[in-house]
């Protein structure tokens, strides 16, 4: 599998606080790459650096071998990277379809209004929201709104999705279908997915590899089975092996 994204010695400081320290990692095309770590470990900051909402203090971020650090979010989006936000933020008053159309027009996929509508509809369909296309986004359940976040990211035409806690707040019954949706997206749309998740079991099942961050540093990186046995991970998550 070839490499799609590479972080080289990425550091991010906020004043005196080092949110990420010398992170080196690469994500392969077509993989589901899990990102775990305690609150404040630097997970969302990592997404903001990749998505262009923040600039690294040091280090390089390469997408398809091209450096992207310092580019604007809209430029990065057009290159094929799209992220969802931990706190869902749809345009609540407009329909699910119009939300996805806005994303499609913003991203690389659409050349015309008709194309935007088409890719928006395909994105809604891919996350199971086609029946709710005309529903105001604010009227969807939390699970529906999380799905809409993913549809909006998809509608941009992204090849790389960065999903920030799309399972958080879902009921136990909603988690399983969401996992199936994510696995299907990778299979059917050739996507590469980086997913931040606190629901450990789900992350372990879904991911090909997992990166565990601890206070902004790489604590462990590897296949789920290896992460589940990692002494530092066990100590951090379960208070000792």
Ligand X SMILES: Nc1ncnc2c1ncn2[C@@H]1O[C@H](COP(=O)(O)OP(=O)(O)OP(=O)(O)O)[C@@H](O)[C@H]1O
**Rounded distance, CA 103 to CA 98, Å?**
9
Residue 37 contact partner, candidates ligand X, Mg ion, none, CB within 5 to 8 A by sort of partner: ligand X
**Rounded distance, CA 105 to CA 65, Å?**
26
Residue of 14, 141, 190, 231 that binds ligand X (CB under 6 A): 14
Q: For residue 45, what is the enclosing H or E element?
A: helix 43-51
- Minimum separation from the CB atom of position 40 to Mg ion (A): 8
Window contacting ligand X (CB under 6 A); options: 40-48, 71-79, 105-113, 223-231: 40-48
**Rounded distance, CA 45 to CA 55, Å?**
10
Q: Residue 241 class from Cβ within 10 Å (0-12 exposed, 13-18 middle, 19+ buried)?
A: exposed
Antiparallel, parallel or unpaired: β 58-63 and 3-14: antiparallel
- Minimum separation from the CB atom of position 44 to Mg ion (A): 3
Contact between 42 and ligand X by CB under 6 A: the answer reads yes
CA torsion, points 87, 192, 213, 238, in degrees to nearest 10? 80
* 37 to 56: interface string for Mg ion, x by CB under 5 A: ------xx------------
Residue nearest to Mg ion (CB): 44
Which residues within the stretch 18-37 sit at the binding site for ligand X (CB under 6 A)?
19, 37
Total residues at the site for Mg ion (CB under 5 A)? 2
Number of DSSP helices (H) and strands (E) in the chain, helices first: 9, 10
Nearer Cβ to Mg ion (49/129)? 49
Nearer Cβ to ligand X (17/114)? 17
Contact between 39 and ligand X by CB under 6 A: the answer reads yes
Cα–Cα–Cα angle for 205, 209, 214, nearest 5°? Answer: 105
Which residues within the stretch 56-115 sit at the binding site for ligand X (CB under 6 A)?
86
Contact between 43 and ligand X by CB under 6 A: the answer reads yes
Nearer Cβ to Mg ion (116/219)? 219
- Minimum separation from the CB atom of position 49 to Mg ion (A): 13
Sheet holding 66-67, edge to edge: 17-28, 3-14, 58-63, 66-67
Contact between 41 and ligand X by CB under 6 A: the answer reads yes
Cα 146 to Cα 36, 108, 140: the distances in Å are: 19, 22, 9
Nearer Cβ to ligand X (14/67)? 14
Helix ranges (DSSP H) in 52-141: 73-79, 96-106, 113-126
Contact between 212 and ligand X by CB under 6 A: the answer reads no
Which residues form the interface with ligand X (CB under 6 A)? 14, 17, 19, 37, 39-45, 86
């Amino acid at each position: 599998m070839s490499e799609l994204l590479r972080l080289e010695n990425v550091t991010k400081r906020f004043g005196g606080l080092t949110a990420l320290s010398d992170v080196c990692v690469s994500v392969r095309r077509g993989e589901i790459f899990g990102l775990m770590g305690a609150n404040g470990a630097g997970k969302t900051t990592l997404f903001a650096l990749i998505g262009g909402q923040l600039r690294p203090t040091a280090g390089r971020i390469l997408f398809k071998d091209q450096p992207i650090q310092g580019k604007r979010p809209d430029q990065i989006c057009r290159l094929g990277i799209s992220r969802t936000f931990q706190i869902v933020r749809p345009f609540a008053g407009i329909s699910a379809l119009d939300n996805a159309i806005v994303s499609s027009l913003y991203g690389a996929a659409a050349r015309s209004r008709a194309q935007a509508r088409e890719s928006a509809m395909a994105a809604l369909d891919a996350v199971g929201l086609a029946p709710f296309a005309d529903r105001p986004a604010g009227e969807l359940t939390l699970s529906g709104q999380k799905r809409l976040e993913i549809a909006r990211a998809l509608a941009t035409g992204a090849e790389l999705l960065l999903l920030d806690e799309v399972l958080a707040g879902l009921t136990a019954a909603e988690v399983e279908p969401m996992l199936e949706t994510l696995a299907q997206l990778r299979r059917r749309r050739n996507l590469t997915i980086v997913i931040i998740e606190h629901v450990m079991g789900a992350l372990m099942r879904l991911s090909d590899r997992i990166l565990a961050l601890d206070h902004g540093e790489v604590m462990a990186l590897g296949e789920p089975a290896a992460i589940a046995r990692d002494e530092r991970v066990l100590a951090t998550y379960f208070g000792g092996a």
